[in-house]
Structure 1
């Protein structure tokens, strides 16, 4: 008995063979062309996807370039301040990123342009694998050594020497090199809550401010309501510490929603978000449009991957000529700086909390 050919095994019959159970007669074998058609279809899909991806990237670049501002006087070009030790070095294989965010919650948007005090000072750390982000805030009354100026509140560094001295102070305090700097019009940044349709935060203390009520627990806020949530400190039990915590919460919520997969998959919504960020941010000249786009699209974050950390303090005091201060917890600060430098903030949070 002969062995069936491959075609016969597939239920096909060569010319001259039986046509099947009914023996309907011979029929010509048809060549199967679906593999070629499938290949062509896949190639078309790949080309279209690549083109769409390219257009998406271009639209993001355009959203950034048409709105963002850059300043020659921002670090990291020449951030060394008088009296500062040499800048901390960064390992060449370290792909983590440290962004200094400096902003003002003042209604006067020019305050950050005339060497006024920085009311908001944060480091945003992105892990090397882009799977974790950490927002570290520094209370404005934290009493630190300002290079060349002696001890003072950390928010005075900007007043004494602009963004260069503010960054120099952070680098000296943490022993960690800062990669980029962004000056943020905080009032405009908070308006992103409207672009995103509101953001949800966990409110620790119930309070009221300027006609708005903020109950304890999960609340969704946007616009003016969100702005007063991050401004208020007088009606909070821990004053500026609680305000700093609320600022971190809102920044975290904006990042989580703005960089979520749902937003990124929606080109119109994501471009609107990117444009909104760019309008209210001034960055250093080394932070290019492609850097911003590539960093944003490289993130693999869920809301739980964005952590908040308050720079550690051990208590409060009053210093003549300076006023009330937050005393730095030197042990924890050393640990925080080491974690920042070694890209190990997850270990810090596990040991000390947020």
Structure 2
């Protein structure tokens, strides 16, 4: 059961790109006739946190001045009486000056200092120990960059979002079956349930985790394509309802409007980043260890993207 839950959580490795397109870069649904509905949905999603200005940024981000900014995306599976863990952690760095977004996936088993806890542990445990705040502090410390905003996504909402855009079509390059569904080579149409099964399969893929992540990107690209299409205007109520139920963020509506106006072109150029790790066991527990050189490489690339090294 735990293995199935983990796989479901990992389907969100790139799913937050949906939120960025529909809510932040706002191609199709940000129109006058749905303005009120969008604002209501964002108000439902808004969940501020008590936090001082990051020590890693001298001045607050000015979205009206087109400053580069970062967003920590957390995919969680919360249950009543249990905060859960953020088994999906993605950092997006957005730079309108080079019209690009860099998306870094942090493996959940990455061993690092949990800031505020005083221990070395898996990075995804930060959310279980201290929620959004501890997650942000820990990621800031690990990557040595400021985290300006966050988005928390409920994993169970994955299927709702796919169904809300009316399903998607992908080009499948591997014949396989999973979850009671068969996926032949060629063009495949997926609803929410099928999309979840499509992204879960890994062990039968000769490319392993790389193949699974490739299918995840296909799903996100398909949702972005459908969410941005004119036909999705008729589904905007379902889309906003799915997002409102499954997303929390400290971004305000006005900030999203500023991003939509000033950063929109960057959303069409998303680059994936990866952290290379070495798997090992410490006291019988599996961890992913990141070398100092690899950590420095990633930090430098992110700092350049955020224009922090000028």
What TM-score, normalized to structure 1?
A: 0.63
Which residue is equivalent to 1:37? none
Secondary structure (helix, strand or coil) at the match of 1:169 reads helix
1:192-243 C-alpha deviation (Å, 9 max, x unpaired): 2223233355667655331123456765433011123344556556776765
Alignment check: 8 A CA contact 1:61 1:293 kept: no
Quote the residue 1:282 is aligned against.
Answer: 248
May I ask how many residue pairs the two structures share in their alignment? 272
- Partners in 1 of 2:214 and 2:52 — Cα distance? 28
Map Cα deviations across residues 78-136 of structure 1 (whole Å, 9 max, x no partner).
279xxxxx7311566661221111113x5xx527x733111211112222248322322
Mark the runs of 5 or more structure 1 residues left unpaired by the alignment. Answer: 1-54, 81-85, 346-354
CA distance in 2, matches of 1:326, 1:217: 35
Shift of 1:65: 1.9
Tell me which of the two structures has the higher relative contact order, counting C-alpha pairs closer than 8 angstroms and 6 or more residues apart.
2
Pairing of 1:20-59 with structure 2 (within 5 A): 56-57=31-32, 59=34
User: What is the aligned counterpart of 2:273 among 290, 299, 309?
Assistant: 309
The answer on whether the counterparts of 2:103 and 2:272 sit within 8 Å (CA) in structure 1 is: yes
> Corresponding residue for 1:225?
194
1:320-353 superposed Cα distances (whole Å, 9 cap, x missing partner): 15x22222243233222222223279xxxxxxxx
Q: Deviations over 1:123-181 (max 9, x none)?
A: 12222248322322112112222223322111111112111111111111111111111
TM-score with structure 2 length normalisation?
0.71
Task: Say whether residues 1:342 and 2:307 are aligned partners.
Answer: no
Aligned residue among 64, 89, 96 for 1:128: 96
- Indicate the RMSD between aligned Cα atoms, in angstroms: 3.6
Larger radius of gyration: 1
Q: 2:47 aligns with which of 59, 65, 71?
A: 71
For structure 2, list consecutive stretches of 5 or more residues without a partner in the other structure.
1-29
Residue pair 2:96, 2:265 contacting (<8 A) in 1 also: no
Match of 1:87 among 41, 47, 55: 55
Structure 1 residues 159 and 302, CA gap change in structure 2 (3 angstroms): closer
* Alpha-carbon distance in structure 2 between the residues aligned to 1:129 and 1:143: 33
Q: Secondary structure at the match of 1:121?
A: strand
Residues 238-247 or 95-104, more deviating = 238-247
Report whether the alignment pairs 1:193 with 2:162. Answer: yes
Measured at CA, do residues 160 and 203 of structure 1 come closer, stay the same or move farther in structure 2, by a change above 3 Å? Answer: farther
Report what 1:300 is aligned to.
265
What secondary structure, in the 3-state scheme, does the structure 2 residue paired with 1:313 have? coil
Distance 1:146 1:87 in 2: 17
Choose which of 267, 276, 290 in structure 2 pairs with 1:328: 290
Shift of 1:297: 5.0
| Residue matched to 1:146 | 114
